[in-house]
Structure 1
């Protein structure tokens, strides 16, 4: 029970950083695309967005292994022991990759590392969805007893949130490329592209926050 309490505490902190961090990046984005500000000022806001976003990204990465670890303790997912050790090692490598991309941001190396980080999600998202849907259909791998279906539902929604987050990551990565080009010369096409992206990301962000709150609700209440 002490182990579960510690994991639950870290899980709550990770969720707070995820939700709060995404809100911070979203609000900062308005100044990033504000043409009334100088390019230097806009770049400072972009730097602020990166510094906020790394905590949100860290929270996202930690939530899945924390949930799987607690799920094993609760008896809703069967993989413990060696599987959990391997999982945490893989997550440590993934988290190191994410932070390396942050440290080398706004460079070609940073962009390459970010793309590798994103590629992990291309594998993880379908695996999570297959596991959740398989459980809904009665094939596992998660438990399907009374009061246990909240878990695969949470996994399924979390997978879709990673899809939305991936799209937002694409947008943020493109900001880096566009700002490097704008630093060389003004370009109305690029400016229009930035404004188009903030409009698109606004609607995605609203859906993102609703999904995050839903996942948190399922984990806290375990309603079915």
Structure 2
């Protein structure tokens, strides 16, 4: 316990790096698997197997995404950027994100059921106020107000938070695409459907374009955290 307390920041930074690695690597795995999921030349069973692989890879990326924010806030509290989390605030923060992570895993484990889809949609809806709060808090910090205390030489922290919020927006769209995979494959299981195939091709094209922006954003978040340029 003494070791953990003495090295709290170093341990948090290590887990933060691991979460970022799983986020970036997982998204690449899903991207590559999507080529097979949307390939109409393959049998439906084969495509569903690739979709299952995509979901199993994606859950690690989603776990990384969820963990990055509380880890970053916890480190921000140690740096003195988030005094709001002093005392019991840090425990309430971690409880909130534990519930969020639980919803994420419930949606994954129940992904082929109506309950799983409902949990996924609920979790997506909860992201909208979170994204808005992150954007507002970040911009307030640049103006010298709000719960984040960042001055000259530490503006990288709210900038990183704003980029993370932007990444969540892209992630919401990519999650929507994956949820639609499940719904569309239910229809395709009943027989060939040109309309569903066309929708799959259209949506995956949009998702791949979004993925490139996603990777640039993730790389920028990594840069700000590592270099702290301003």
The alignment's TM-score, normalised by the length of structure 1, stands at: 0.98
Paired residue for 2:225? 219
1:129 to 129, 135, 143: 135
| Backbone CA RMSD of aligned residues | 0.9
1:155 to 134, 148, 161: 161
Give the C-alpha shift of residue 126 in structure 1.
0.2
Give the C-alpha shift of residue 123 in structure 1.
1.5
- Mapped to 2, the partners of 1:72 and 1:139 lie a distance apart of 16
Counterpart contact for 2:144–2:151, Cα < 8 Å: no
Q: Unaligned stretches of 5+ in structure 1?
A: none
Counterpart contact for 1:143–1:149, Cα < 8 Å: no
- Mapped to 1, the partners of 2:55 and 2:133 lie a distance apart of 28
Q: How far does the alpha carbon of each residue in 1:36-86 deviate from its partner, in whole angstroms, 9 at most, with x for none?
A: 111000000000000000000000000000000001111122222211100
- Mapped to 1, the partners of 2:47 and 2:145 lie a distance apart of 51
How many residue pairs get matched?
224
- Mapped to 1, the partners of 2:102 and 2:8 lie a distance apart of 24
SS of the equivalent of 2:74 reads helix
Counterpart contact for 2:141–2:150, Cα < 8 Å: yes
Counterpart contact for 1:161–1:208, Cα < 8 Å: yes
2:144 to 138, 145, 150: 138
Paired residue for 2:82? 77
Does 2:190 align with 1:184?
Answer: yes
SS of the equivalent of 2:97 reads helix
Paired residue for 2:3? none
Give the C-alpha shift of residue 138 in structure 1.
2.1
Paired residue for 1:19? 24
- Mapped to 2, the partners of 1:74 and 1:41 lie a distance apart of 50
